[in-house]
Homo-oligomer: A and B are copies of this chain.
Amino acid sequence: MEITDIETIEFTCETTKTSDEKGHAHPGPPRERVRRITRVAVDGGPDGHCLGGHRATNDLASETLSGEDPRERERVARRLRRMGRLRRDTLSETTVSRIDCALWDAAGKHYGEPVYRLLGGHRDRIPAYGSTMVGDDDPDGLGTPEAYADFAESLVDRGYPAVKLHGWMPPYDAGPERTVAACRAVRERVGPDVPLMLDSHHFYTRTEAKRIGDALAELDFAWFEEPMDEHSVSSYEWLTRNVDVPVVGPETAEGGIYTRAEWLKRDAADVGRVGVHDVGGITPALKAIHCYEAFNVECELHGGNLPNLHLLGAMAESGDYYERGLLHPDYDYDATPAYLASPRDPLDDDGHVRVPQSPGLGYDFDWSYIETNRVEP
């Protein structure tokens, strides 16, 4: 069994999202965008796929990995990681992750098993929190504390057992008081029993972060996520010592499992965090999860996607929620994207998302749509 190619399938698709200068999503007018699927082509076994990917990454990886056995994920991960030291753009943890996930997809298909079962897992449904987009200035969107409260109430009514706010971030006014006011309005609206979390502007100072953290503790928030630049581990040690709300991290800081080990050693957060696309795929994310388990530190997963959903199905000791979204009053997250033949991560009536039971990761791509709308580079 060997890898023959790592292909980047590019196709156009309508979206009603736009990005601000920081890369955060907001609702936007309908437009065509290019989407990508990473395909690891295998001779002697099924191909593996993962939504997303980067052409330069996949092209370079293809040169390197052609002829490798797709089952040898540890070797592949190590090679890409070491090659990435001097190619931090092309082979970063955030770009190689789709290749690793596609290898797990291929393995699951080869063995006829959903990935979470290959990982020894047993949970086939995970409670989801509704994860909002970042704030804006639209009073009917996420422009005021009242607007956040309206939307959070609608998410609870929709069945979400918990809600996470992404607060305001520049270019919008991101003052701590505005964020706290939104958190307070949401808590007052949904009542004391709904778990609430905040992911805030990532560049507050320590004292700003503490001011928000103290307010979140008073509002009984379940966690406080990335209020400061994560490269300053000392700041997170300081914050974790000085606020009562559980601090969660790291999420976007580079360094994968090594960075998480450092945070663990320094008690820099109360709750750990990892997402497949933050650390290079399922292989390293699983190692991070095991590390958190060894330190008896809860771990919550970053981002809504099928690889994370399978990891959650395999986590025995923590992983309370699947992050579903990002959501906004003016964005129809539940609409099935044209490149899928069935809804992505649909929400059950009781607020759970099911882990796909088909072999591999369980992507249900509409290949006919994708072929019709394919674009060549």
Residues of A within 8 A of B (CB): 69, 71-75, 77-78, 111-113, 117-122, 257-258, 260-261, 264-265, 283, 286-288, 290-291, 293-296, 314-317
Per assembly, the copies of the chain total 2
Closest CB of chain B to A10's CB: distance in Å?
A: 29
* A120 and B294 in contact, given A113-B111, A265-B265 (Cβ under 8 angstroms): no
* B113 pairs with A72, CB closer than 8 A: no
Chain A, interface SS category: helix
* A120 pairs with B316, CB closer than 8 A: no
* A74 pairs with B290, CB closer than 8 A: no
* A78 and B316 in contact, given A69-B122, A294-B291 (Cβ under 8 angstroms): yes
CB-CB nearest in chain B for A283: B120
- Name the 6 nearest CB pairs between A and B, nearest first: A73-B120, A72-B122, A287-B290, A74-B316, A257-B294, A261-B294
CB-CB nearest in chain B for A110: B111
Q: Bound complex: CA of A261 vs CA of B264, how far in Å?
A: 10
* B122 pairs with A258, CB closer than 8 A: no
B-chain residues with CB within 8 Å of residue A294 when the two chains form the complex = 257-258, 260-261, 287-288, 291
* A120 pairs with B265, CB closer than 8 A: no
B-chain residues with CB within 8 Å of residue A69 when the two chains form the complex = 122
* B296 pairs with A258, CB closer than 8 A: yes
Q: Bound complex: CA of A291 vs CA of B315, how far in Å?
A: 16
* A118 and B121 in contact, given A265-B265, A293-B287 (Cβ under 8 angstroms): no
Which of B74, B122, B291 sits near A291, CB closer than 8 Å?
A: B291
Q: Bound complex: CA of A78 vs CA of B286, how far in Å?
A: 17
If A74-B314, A77-B316, A265-B295 are given as contacts, then 9 extra A-B residue pairs at C-beta distance below 8 Å, sorted by A number, are A69-B122, A72-B120, A72-B121, A73-B120, A120-B283, A260-B294, A261-B294, A287-B290, A287-B291
B-chain residues with CB within 8 Å of residue A120 when the two chains form the complex = 71-74, 77, 283
Which of B73, B78, B112, B257 sits near A290, CB closer than 8 Å?
A: B257
CB-CB nearest in chain B for A68: B122
Q: Bound complex: CA of A227 vs CA of B173, how far in Å?
A: 61
B-chain residues with CB within 8 Å of residue A317 when the two chains form the complex = 78
Q: Bound complex: CA of A48 vs CA of B223, how far in Å?
A: 42
CB-CB nearest in chain B for A81: B316
B-chain residues with CB within 8 Å of residue A283 when the two chains form the complex = 120
B-chain residues with CB within 8 Å of residue A295 when the two chains form the complex = 258, 261, 265
Q: Bound complex: CA of A120 vs CA of B287, how far in Å?
A: 13
CB-CB nearest in chain B for A313: B74
B-chain residues with CB within 8 Å of residue A293 when the two chains form the complex = 257, 287
Q: Which of A119, A288, A315, A316 has the most CB of B within 10 A?
A: A316
